[in-house]
Amino acid sequence: MKPALVVGNWKMHGTRSEAVKLATGVLEASRRNLSVEVVLAPPFTALAAVSAALRCGAVRLAAQNLHWETEGAFTGEISVSMLRDLDCRYVIVGHSERRRLFGESDAIVAKKVGAALSAGLRPILCVGETLGERRRGRTNGVIARQLRVALKGLSKSAIEKLTFAYEPVWAIGTGKNATPEQIAAVHRFVRELLRRRAGLSARACRILYGGSVRPDNAAELAAQPEVDGVLVGGASLKVGAFASIVRSFGATAV
């Protein structure tokens, strides 16, 4: 079984010096939790500095986004080769904020997944429903659509390289949290879709939960058999809080 994966998504927070200080603190705290894979996703401006800070440790580096073209006249964008040059191992794709605030369609997300895989990066593919969609009973339909488009044309071996993150949009940054039953139901649904789509075994891909993950609910999340890790937002900006979340998942691996 793959180790639990805890990803810190720093979003648009931190100067280079602040990012290095935070990354160094996380690296030191993570040395005592080797049973958990820890990944940090700083803003683009801090990737080089954080990459250097993490070079001699076990904490991995992720980017928060990418462009699907290898190069060209795409002002303000960043390519897979640029991310590889900075030693990024993972890249977050299709985060709800990218979909909701910046208009990324399922088709755009699919192109980004393909670009990441072609360059040897491991996409963390985010899926999830809005509160309105959940209230209308459309959760499974929305997630099925997002996955159908994102995985179209991918081989079984390519899909096995993906990590999935279920992030109910209504729980991100709101302090609300999906119940263990809601999370388990969606994770099982994703696993069944992957089985039907590519013949994957239940544990072939890790499925994370993301949505107001905090130290005070991390242990409950870690105790859920369907949760293979978490995608952490605000709580990843403080070493103590993030280290507590990592410890929660390390405890379940003992």
Query: In this structure, what token pair is assigned to residue 17?
Result: 């010096």
**pLDDT given at position 9:** 98
**Active-site amino acid positions:** 95, 167
Tokens of 95: 């985060």
Mean pLDDT, residues 208-217 taken together: 94
Q: Which two tokens stand for residue 144?
A: 């099925």
The predicted pLDDT at position 1 comes to: 73
The CATH number, out of the four listed (3.40.50.2300, 3.40.50.1110, 3.30.413.10, 3.20.20.70), of the domain defined by the range 4-253: 3.20.20.70
Q: What average pLDDT does the segment 83-105 reach?
A: 97
Residue 177 has pLDDT above 80, yes or no: no
pLDDT band at 56 (very low <50, low <70, confident <90, very high): confident
Q: Looking at residue 254, what is its pLDDT?
A: 42
Write a three-state SS string for the chain.
CCCEEEEEECCCCCCHHHHHHHHHHHHHHHCCCCCEEEEEECCHHHHHHHHHHHCCCCCEEEECCCCCCCCCCCCCCCCHHHHHHCCCCEEEECCHHHHHHHCCCHHHHHHHHHHHHHCCCEEEEEECCCHHHHHCCCHHHHHHHHHHHHHCCCCHHHHCCCEEEECCHHHCCCCCCCCHHHHHHHHHHHHHHHHHHHCCCCCCCCEEECCCCCHHHHHHHHCCCCCCEEEECHHHHCHHHHHHHHHHHHHHHC
In this prediction, residues 176-195 reach a mean pLDDT of 94
Q: Which amino acid is at 64?
A: Q
Domain spans in the chain, listed from the N-terminal domain onward: 4-253
Task: Answer whether residue 176 shows pLDDT above 90.
Answer: no
- Contacts made by residues 24-28, CB under 8 angstroms, sequence distance 24+: 24/53, 25/239, 25/243, 26/59, 26/239, 26/242, 26/243, 27/53, 27/54, 27/57, 27/58, 27/59
What pLDDT was estimated at residue 253? Answer: 59
